[in-house]
Structure 1
Amino acid sequence: MTDPPLPSTASTPPLMSRTPPAGRWRQVGALLSDLVRLARPTHWVKNLVVIPLALLSLAGPTAAELARLGWAVLAFCLASSAVYVWNDIADRHRDRAHPVKRHRPVAAGRVHPFAAGGFAVTLTAALLLVMLLGPSFGWWPLLVYLGLNIAYSRGLKQVPLLDMFVVAAGFGLRLIQGHVAVDTTASSWLLIAVFAICLLLILGKRRHEVGAAGTSHRPSLAGYSPQFLEYLMILCGAVTVTAGLLYLSDASAAPPHADAVLLLSVPLAIFGLARYLQLVVVRSDGGDPVRLLRDPVILVTALLWIAAVATIVTLPEPALAAPPSP
């Protein structure tokens, strides 16, 4: 398949080839809108959630530490957007066979691959400026992330299982980058929990794709079946809860009133995961994990957990454990 040719104006009379100013502005606005869609800013929430988890290892972060985390988030937003654009260019032919992805700007022909490539180069240049002008800390997790995504685009995305593990590894690298930025060591249990829950979200997306599109869109789907993916989702859900609880119970990372936090976290974590599995398995609605995380039930569960944990860890000890009466 070839890309749709650019419209030719060679045979158009000079007076007819002139686009009215209003029309030109509409074209520019449509192009800018499509370029923003290519960058997928709605997916930046992944960086805004995962990278700041490094704050859990700090007791009262300073303004400088928060600024360094901000630079890390900005760099990963630019890097992930550049990766999305390059992937959309490389996958434009396969995306046309997908009922949803065929509407993406490059696959739909609204943005020419050359224009998309120029936009990706601009994002990459902005990323280099951020790395050069930002605080001096190690950027090796970001560089590994970019290397993994190059390998992913060049062939790993076609290998069943490996395709999902590479994407999930990118979230682990985000978490590590946050810890590198604030010069702390990431907890192994927190890393396992983040990797497992991200793998769970990717499994839900693959399950949706198995039913929504054939292997012509993604050949690696031939290595999956709905039942196999559901087994893996159950496994990852169990690992996520277990690793998260072990992280909270770790003496070196435990928050104040760790026992109360653990007792509260277990039912809410299981309920949140059960709701996600219900959306994916019962409603077959796992195509966009970011959109699913905005589900009202999941959002209310997460907000309740955050509010309750914040209240518990700020309460004085006597409020939870009154001294025994004489």
Structure 2
Amino acid sequence: MTLIKFLTSVVRLMRPMQWAKNLLVFTPAMFAGILGDYRGQLYSLAAFVVFCLVSSSIYILNDIKDAQRDRLHPEKRFRPIASGEISPRQAFFIWNFITIAALIVALSVSWKVAAIGVGYIIVNVAYTLKLKHVPWLDITSIALGFIFRIHAGAAAVDVVVSVWLTINTFLLAAFLGFGKRYHELGALGVSAPESRPVLKYYTIKSLANIMKFLIVAIPFTFMGWSFARFSVKDALWIALTVPVIVFALFRFFQICSDTARFTSPTDAMLRDFPLILSTVVWSGAMVGILYL
């Protein structure tokens, strides 16, 4: 294997397409009104880099452990370790390197960011080794990862995350996690537990009902946060963005339901034009309300 091909495999192993989730670290600075500040930008960017590295380290660890099972999956069998492009030994070295690099960057920001990064690693190692096979705790572990992102962004710029925002983030992350399980069950059917054993504990109907409940709960907690955090005037303006949120949630649910067109809902959401447009519109509206 040539060096260029190997490095390309390393990049694929780190799954940079998933780094979009780490943009959450910027939200505390944005909602606190300091994202335009140089310090807010620099420290939030550093926290973003930290979570890009630690999240990639977890993906690598997960791929090392699940390589044999991934070879049975129609899509996952092409991953670098499962396909043999990168050996488990090489992957373990890469995992060590980027984990240490992440902690060095985190400590350069603050000990709080480093502690949150370590907490993220601990929870996700537990997920990789055990919790991913335990129903409900698998989704809870995924959702906690998003909570860690929010709190790392807050720690980087020294602001406090409200309970409402924490709950809202948890519900949104759970929605994405349940959506992925829903899609996998629909796509793989009775063979789904072979690639992800925890799926034997879920049903299409129960997952659909949970997602429908969360489509209602997420906008509700978002509005609870806005009225608790801002003036009534600003909160009412923020309320105008709720239809965009609801549209995005329904669109993701539609993607999860369409197993013929989409092989992975979390990958599809990064390329789906309606979802991208709704995210841009909502973000632009929030920036306009908070900064103009």
With structure 1 as the length reference, what TM-score do the two structures score? 0.82
Q: Which has the larger radius of gyration?
A: 1
Q: Would the aligned equivalents of 1:204 and 1:287 in 2 still touch at CA under 8 Å?
A: no
Residue 276 (structure 1) aligned with residue 255 (structure 2): no
Give the CA RMSD over aligned residues: 2.0
Residue 28 (structure 1) aligned with residue 3 (structure 2): yes
| Amino acid in structure 1 at the alignment position of 2:277 | V
Aligned residue for 2:200, secondary structure, equals: helix
Alignment of structure 1 residues 13-162 onto 2, 5 Å: 27-48=2-23, 50-61=24-35, 62-132=37-107, 134-138=108-112, 139-162=114-137
Q: Would the aligned equivalents of 2:33 and 2:291 in 1 still touch at CA under 8 Å?
A: no
| Amino acid in structure 1 at the alignment position of 2:26 | P
What is the distance in 1 between the residues matched to 2:100 and 2:153? 22
After superposition, give the CA deviation of every residue in 1:225-252 in whole Å (9 maximum; x if it has no partner): 11111011112222211111111122x3
What is the distance in 1 between the residues matched to 2:76 and 2:117? 27
Residue 235 (structure 1) aligned with residue 213 (structure 2): yes
Say which of 191, 199, 204 aligns to 1:221: 199
What is the distance in 1 between the residues matched to 2:284 and 2:103? 38
After superposition, give the CA deviation of every residue in 1:36-73 in whole Å (9 maximum; x if it has no partner): 1001111111112x111111442334322322212211
After superposition, give the CA deviation of every residue in 1:90-109 in whole Å (9 maximum; x if it has no partner): 10011111110011010111
With structure 2 as the length reference, what TM-score do the two structures score? 0.91
Aligned residue for 2:85, secondary structure, equals: coil
Give the equivalent residue in structure 1 for 2:236: 259
Give the equivalent residue in structure 1 for 2:169: 194
Residue 303 (structure 1) aligned with residue 280 (structure 2): yes
Unpaired runs of 5+ residues, structure 1, are 1-25, 316-326
Q: Would the aligned equivalents of 1:137 and 1:181 in 2 still touch at CA under 8 Å?
A: no
Aligned-pair identity in percent equals 32
What is the distance in 2 between the residues matched to 1:200 and 1:181? 26
| Amino acid in structure 2 at the alignment position of 1:165 | T
Give the equivalent residue in structure 2 for 1:165: 140
Give, in angstroms, the shift of residue 270 of structure 1: 1.5
Unpaired runs of 5+ residues, structure 2, are none
How many correspondences in the alignment?
A: 286
Give, in angstroms, the shift of residue 260 of structure 1: 2.5
Q: Mark the CA change 1:100 to 1:185 in structure 2 (over 3 Å): closer, same or farther.
A: same
Q: Which range moves more in the overlay, 118-127 or 224-233? A: 118-127
| Amino acid in structure 2 at the alignment position of 1:280 | C
Give, in angstroms, the shift of residue 258 of structure 1: 2.4
